[in-house]
């Protein structure tokens, strides 16, 4: 069943909240189909709502992970986490932020149960939840700051995988958008000699991907 496009008149009036329908989501993503099927291709939704776009992007990526890595449990686990780390969102309304994180995790868990022959990996699930807590941000994409009593610049984490190890670095959203050219490129894009290199705000030790949730 397609999700209702408008949740309430008050939320539309107060926040301009209108969700994109499933058919429109798929039509728009089909325009960049090749990117949605790259496991590590990064997507940022600056007004992600409860995750209509991000959910479909994750679904598409997980299909590719299953097709390529189902024969190896370690590779399946690792690249499914790579898919999770590639998805970013900013949302103004706190309940939508929580629902988006929950929705993405539910999609992941349902997929994992369908491909893992009943195996459970609680450490991996904790890592998925941790990444979603960092990548789906309660903030305002116009002010580039978090929302609440203690507003701070939005910080996005870059998750760089080397074999079974992950390096996490933090960059401010404002810094990522300083160069106009980067507005039309993926987060942390590598475009060659002319690419804008943002300043690292925070950096964490290299860890095994199953220890990511311990790397606070």
pLDDT (0 to 100) of residue 135: 97
pLDDT (0 to 100) of residue 215: 74
How remote is the C-alpha of 195 from its chain's centroid? 22
pLDDT (0 to 100) of residue 2: 39
Q: Is residue 7 part of a domain?
A: no
The domain in which residue 113 lies consists of 14-214
pLDDT (0 to 100) of residue 185: 47
pLDDT (0 to 100) of residue 121: 94
Of 194, 163, 189, the closest CA to residue 176 belongs to: 189
Q: Is residue 187 part of a domain?
A: yes
- Split into its structural domains, the chain has a count of 1
pLDDT (0 to 100) of residue 9: 55
Q: Is residue 3 part of a domain?
A: no
Of 138, 156, 163, 202, the closest CA to residue 78 belongs to: 163
pLDDT (0 to 100) of residue 11: 42
pLDDT (0 to 100) of residue 192: 46
pLDDT (0 to 100) of residue 193: 47
Sign, CA torsion 171/174/179/182 = positive
Q: Is residue 2 part of a domain?
A: no
Low-confidence ranges of the chain (pLDDT < 70): 1-21, 179-197
What pTM did the predictor assign?
0.82
Q: Is residue 6 part of a domain?
A: no
Phi, psi of 158 (to 5 degrees): -100, 130
pLDDT (0 to 100) of residue 10: 53
Q: Is residue 9 part of a domain?
A: no
Question: How many helices and strands in the chain, by DSSP H and E?
Answer: 8, 8
Q: Is residue 4 part of a domain?
A: no
pLDDT (0 to 100) of residue 197: 67
């Amino acid at each position: 069943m397609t999700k209702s496009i408008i949740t309430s008149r008050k939320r539309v009036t107060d926040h301009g909240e209108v969700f994109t329908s499933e058919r429109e989501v798929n039509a728009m993503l089909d325009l960049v189909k090749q990117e949605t099927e790259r496991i590590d291709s990064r997507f940022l939704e600056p007004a992600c709502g409860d995750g209509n776009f991000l959910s479909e992007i994750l679904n598409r990526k997980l299909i590719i992970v299953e097709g390529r890595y189902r024969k190896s449990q370690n590779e399946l686990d690792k690249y499914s986490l790579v898919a999770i780390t590639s998805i970013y969102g900013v949302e103004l309304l706190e309940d939508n932020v929580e629902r988006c994180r929950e929705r993405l995790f539910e999609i992941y868990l349902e997929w994992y149960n369908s491909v893992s022959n009943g195996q459970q990996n609680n450490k991996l699930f904790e890592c998925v939840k941790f990444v979603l807590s960092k990548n789906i941000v309660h903030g305002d994409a116009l002010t580039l700051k978090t929302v609440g009593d203690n507003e701070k610049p939005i910080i996005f984490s870059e998750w760089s995988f080397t074999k079974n190890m992950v390096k996490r670095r933090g960059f401010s959203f404002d810094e990522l958008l300083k160069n106009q050219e980067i507005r039309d490129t993926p987060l942390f894009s590598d475009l060659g000699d002319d690419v804008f290199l943002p300043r690292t705000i925070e950096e964490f030790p290299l860890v095994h991907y199953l220890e990511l949730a311990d790397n606070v």
